[in-house]
Amino acid sequence: MSEFNVLLSEATISRHLMGVFFTVKQTRVEPTTCNSGVNKEKRKAFAEALVRHNDDGDLVVYFDETNFNLYTKRTRGRDKKGKRAVEKLPPTKGGNMQIQCAVSCAFGVVAYRTHRDSIKMDMSAAFVEALYTEIKEADVYKNAFAHKKIVVVFDNAPAHSQTEVLVPAHDDPVLLRLGPYSPMCNPIENCFSALKVHIK
């Protein structure tokens, strides 16, 4: 504040920033390309396609996978006042488990699989194919979506890079890829968050 010839303490600055609703919070890393013009256009194209499928009454299924570490621990605990809440655990973290899952408004959880190893492109394609077969055989599909398309929404993870090529061709499924950096457009991300909180 030397240019105004004013001396302000950090407490004064903090108090004024709090008054205009600026708070200190954890930063979130956002790649510079996240909201580039090209990516915004891809996101828009995805949203328009999704709205069209919803308007047509198609069955929309959201598919993704997540990594889950088997070393789970609570972050809060109880103990007497003045004492630390201590939980004794092994010194190393546990192994990882990969969870593939698909959800839909019509079904809830449509299908899921767990793997100990990392998920490869052929495993993703096999899951989508199994998902398609499972949906076609389900009563929900036969009663409400029999002559509609099955729209499988998925992201741009490396394991999905060849999905369109590796999944066998059928008449009624549509593989709809999310725009880059668009996890907010895939409701399954919230399902994974809720699952992890519940397990912990």
pLDDT at 10 over 60: yes
Q: Rounding to the nearest 10 degrees, give the CA dihedral for residues 62, 183, 127, 152.
A: 40
Strand pairing class (150-154; 59-69): parallel
**Nearest Cα residue to 71 out of 57, 90, 87:** 90
* Per-residue pLDDT reduced to its tens digit, 108-128: 999 999 998 889 999 999 999
- Fold held by 59-69+94-200: Nucleotidyltransferase; domain 5 (3.30.420)
Mean pLDDT score across all residues of the chain: 88
| Alpha-carbon 118 to chain mean position | 17
Contacts of residue 138, defined as CB under 8 A and 6 or more positions apart, other chains included, come to 107
Instruction: Assess whether pLDDT exceeds 80 at residue 23.
Output: no
For position 76, what pLDDT does the model report? 79
Conformational region of residue 19, where left means phi above 0, alpha means psi within -120 to 50, and beta covers everything else = alpha
pTM: 0.77
Residue 147 has pLDDT above 70, yes or no: yes
Confidence of residue 88 (pLDDT cuts 50, 70, 90): confident
pLDDT at 25: 79
- At residue 19, the pLDDT reads 66
Q: Identify which of 133, 105, 192, 132 has the alpha carbon closest to the alpha carbon of residue 157.
A: 192
Indicate if the pLDDT at residue 1 is higher than 60.
no
d(CA 57, CA 145): 8
> Which of 111 and 77 is assigned the larger pLDDT?
111
Residue corresponding to tokens 């698909």: 102
Q: Which residues of 47-82 are buried (b: 16+ CB within 10 A; e: fewer)?
A: eeebeebeeeebbbbbbbbbebeeeeeeeeeeeeee
Q: Is the pLDDT of residue 75 over 80?
A: no
Q: What number is the average pLDDT over the span 132-138?
A: 94
Here the tokens at position 127 are 């899951």
More confident residue, 71 or 107: 107
